[in-house]
Structure 1
Amino acid sequence: MKLSEIKSLLPTLANVNFQLEDGTFVPEHFHVTEIGMVSKHFIDCGGTIRNENVVSFQLWDADDHDHRLKPIKLLNIIKLSEDKLGIDDREIEVEYQSNTIGKYGLDFDGTNFVLKNKATACLAQHACGIPPAAQRSCCTTDNKNC
């Protein structure tokens, strides 16, 4: 999901709910503690230099049970980050704490924002030396890295 998509959805919602793919909800008293632009400049195992840029949302499950982030408040935080940080319309990556900090893609199911599991993949499978039958790939039609 791109930043423009969440901005268009928020005004239509009564509440902001995030749900993991397994159906577990992020507690309703979560906080969005950060919004930022994250850039990754790297080289893959095939020698190709790559750049990735995402908008990062960090969700934090606080013990503040009286707090509930409303859609308009999140929209205002997004607009502030665009204004102050120069964030443009990129894919959103969500950081959320489980056993460690997890990174998720973001989708919307018509009611809830869904934290989509991400997986690693070799971006230069042709150069790995691993036979194609043995390669495991996360590549799907929506994975722009493959």
Structure 2
Amino acid sequence: MKISEMKQALTGLEAVNFRLPSGEYLPAHFHVTEVGLVHKHFIDCGGTERQETVANFQLWEAGDYDHRLAPQKFLHILKLSEKILGREDLDIEVEYQQATIGKFGLRLDGQDFVLTPKQTACLAQDACGIPASEFALPQLQTTGCTPGGGCC
């Protein structure tokens, strides 16, 4: 989801709800503790230099169970964040604490914002020396396994 899509969605919502990929809702008393600009400058395993920039939202919950973030307040936070984010229509990445800090994508599902799983991947599959067949899980053999046979 891009910032412009979030702003548009917030103008039509009565409440701001976030849902984890599991379907579980974040507690209604969550806070948006940070809105930031994350710039990643890196080289992939094939030697290609890459850059990636996203708007990052950090969601957090405390013991203030009566707290509610209204859509208008969230829009105000986004307006204030333009000092950092600029006016570029960036993709949004969300951080939320679980067993460790989780990074998620974001989409709107009707009236709820849904945190979507992010996956790692090889960006240089053609250049890193791993055959395409190695990127898929191998078929397990149930009979005829011998030491050094490659099936177990």
The TM-score, its normalising length taken from structure 2, stands at 0.86
Partner residue, 1:114: 114
Deviation at 1:128, TM superposition (A): 2.1
Partner amino acid, structure 1, of 2:117: N
Deviation at 1:83, TM superposition (A): 3.4
Q: Residue 106 of structure 2 aligns to a residue in which SS?
A: strand
> What RMSD in Å do the two structures reach over aligned CA positions?
1.4
Q: Residue 88 of structure 1 aligns to a residue in which SS?
A: coil
Unaligned 5+ residue runs, structure 2? 137-152
Partner residue, 2:146: none
- What is the alpha-carbon distance in structure 1 between the residues aligned to residue 86 and residue 132 of structure 2? 42
Give aligned pairs, total: 137
Bigger Rg, which one: 2
Mapped pair 1:101 → 2:78: no
- What is the alpha-carbon distance in structure 2 between the residues aligned to residue 45 and residue 87 of structure 1? 32
Q: Which runs of 4+ in 1 moved over 6 A?
A: none
Mapped pair 1:32 → 2:37: no
Partner residue, 1:90: 90
Contact kept? 2:37, 2:84, Cα under 8 Å: no
- What is the alpha-carbon distance in structure 2 between the residues aligned to residue 49 and residue 11 of structure 1? 39
- What is the alpha-carbon distance in structure 1 between the residues aligned to residue 85 and residue 108 of structure 2? 25
Deviation at 1:85, TM superposition (A): 4.8
Partner amino acid, structure 2, of 1:104: F
Identity among equivalent pairs (%): 61
Q: Residue 58 of structure 1 aligns to a residue in which SS?
A: strand
The TM-score, its normalising length taken from structure 1, stands at 0.90
